[in-house]
C-alpha cells in the first residue's frame, strides 16, 4: 500500500509540476523557459490549464492537471512523509523477508528522495515559486 501511494503521489507531483511547466512553455512558444520558469517568461500557470480542450469543469484534463498541481505545491511535506513511510515499510519487509517488495519500496523511496533533493535545488524552488503564483 505504501508503494502504491508513493508511486501515485510521485506521478501526480511530476504531472503537476513538469506537465504544467511543459504546457505553459508550449503555450507561450518559449521552450528555453523550461530551464528558467517564472511569471515574466511563462505567465500564470493557471493560464496553461488544461493543455487541451475547453476550460470547463467537464474537461477531465482540467481536473487531472489542477489536482496534480495541488500535489506539486505540497512536494516538500509529501516527500518527507513518503520517505518516512517508505523507510518504515522497508524495515518491515526486510524483517518479513519479502525481497521483491523490498526492492520495489527501495526504488519508490529513492525516487522520493531524488524528488526532495531536486525540490530543494535553486531550480526546484524557482519552479515551486512559479507554481504557487
DSSP string, 70-130: HHHHTHHHHHHHHHHHHHHHHHHHHHHT-HHHHHHHHHHHHHHHHHHHHHHSHHHHHHHHH
Query: What confidence category does residue 65 fall into, taking pLDDT thresholds of 50, 70 and 90?
Result: confident
The answer on pLDDT for 48 being more than 90 is no
pLDDT digits (tens, 9 = 90+) for 72-93: 999 999 999 999 999 999 999 9
Into how many domains does the chain fold?
A: 1
The answer on pLDDT for 60 being more than 90 is no
Question: For residue 37, what are the domain limits?
Answer: 2-132
Burial class of 29 by CB neighbour count within 10 A (0 to 12, 13 to 18, 19+): exposed
Average pLDDT over residues 57-62: 82
- Higher-scoring residue by pLDDT: 54, 36: 36
Query: What confidence category does residue 124 fall into, taking pLDDT thresholds of 50, 70 and 90?
Result: very high
The answer on pLDDT for 67 being more than 80 is yes
Cell numbers standing for residue 48: 496553461
Query: What confidence category does residue 43 fall into, taking pLDDT thresholds of 50, 70 and 90?
Result: confident
pLDDT on residue 57: 76
Amino acid at each position: 500500500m505504501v508503494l502504491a501511494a508513493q508511486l501515485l503521489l510521485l506521478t501526480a507531483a511530476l504531472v503537476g509540476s513538469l506537465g504544467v511547466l511543459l504546457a505553459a512553455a508550449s503555450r507561450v512558444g518559449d521552450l528555453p523557459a523550461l530551464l528558467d520558469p517564472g511569471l515574466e517568461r511563462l505567465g500564470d500557470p493557471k493560464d496553461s490549464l488544461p493543455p487541451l480542450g475547453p476550460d470547463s469543469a467537464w474537461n477531465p484534463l482540467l481536473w487531472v492537471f489542477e489536482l496534480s498541481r495541488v500535489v506539486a505545491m505540497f512536494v516538500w511535506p509529501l516527500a518527507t512523509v513518503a520517505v518516512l513511510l517508505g523507510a518504515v515499510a522497508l524495515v518491515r519487509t526486510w524483517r518479513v523477508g519479502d525481497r521483491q517488495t523490498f526492492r520495489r519500496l527501495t526504488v519508490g523511496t529513492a525516487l522520493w528522495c531524488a524528488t526532495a533533493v531536486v525540490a530543494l535545488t535553486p531550480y526546484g524552488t524557482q519552479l515551486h515559486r512559479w507554481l504557487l503564483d
